[in-house]
Amino acid sequence: MTDNFKEQLQKAHEQGDYAALLHLIPYAKLIGVECSRVGDDLLFRLPANKDNIGNPLLPAIHGGVIAGFMELSAALHLLILTGSPGVPKIIDFSLDYLRAGQFRDTWARCQVCRQGRRVANVAVTAWQSTEAEPIATARAHFKIDEPLKS
């Protein structure tokens, strides 16, 4: 990890503002991912962007963009939660599409379940209208460099 990334991660933790950190991740910048702290929780946002449309007839967000948004959200959530010295390495990712992702803002929330000293499981829910009506759910396993903080 570069020193600039470490500095931005430290600043993000202190200020609760993750924009500069996300700007250092090319894919996050490409699709427009945003992150905000809501109390003790992190909330990820994928703003509506015509470049993310996969089916122009509906129009609907490309499934790969939804998957990438959810995987990136899980990795960032884990990175921010653990204060890990590096971005967690993905082991596997499983996604269930539940509804079409319409052309509007998409939100994601993550929940971490620890499964040992070096592996973490993250559940992700993505929605648009209301969190009670998710458009997709996912499960991700990550190799982590340090155990999760209590």
Where do the structural domains in the chain lie, given as residue ranges? 3-143
Asked if residue 71 has pLDDT above 60, the reply is yes
pLDDT at 56 over 80: yes
**What's the pLDDT score for residue 2?**
58
Helices first, then strands: H and E counts in the chain = 4, 8
> What's the pLDDT tens digit per position in 6-49?
777 777 777 778 888 888 889 999 999 999 988 888 999 999 99
Question: What top-level class would CATH report for the domain 3-143?
Answer: alpha beta
Specify the amino acid at residue 101. G
pLDDT for residue 58 is more than 80: yes
Query: 0.75 cut: is pTM over it?
Result: yes
Q: Which of 102, 125, 99, 96 is nearest to 54 (CA)?
A: 102
- Of 38, 37, 46, 41, the closest CA to residue 18 belongs to 37
Query: Residues 6 or more apart from 54 whose CB is under 8 A from it?
Result: 60, 61, 62, 63, 64, 65
User: 75 pLDDT exceeds 90?
Assistant: yes
- Model confidence at 1: pLDDT above 60: no
pLDDT value, residue 38: 85
pLDDT > 90: what percent of the chain?
A: 61
- Residue 66 near residue 97 (C-beta atoms within 8 A): yes
Q: How many CB atoms lie within 10 A of CB 69?
A: 28
For residues 104 and 48, what is the distance between their CA atoms, to the nearest angstrom?
A: 5
Position 52 pLDDT exceeds 80: yes
**Phi/psi of residue 27, nearest 5 degrees:** -70, -40
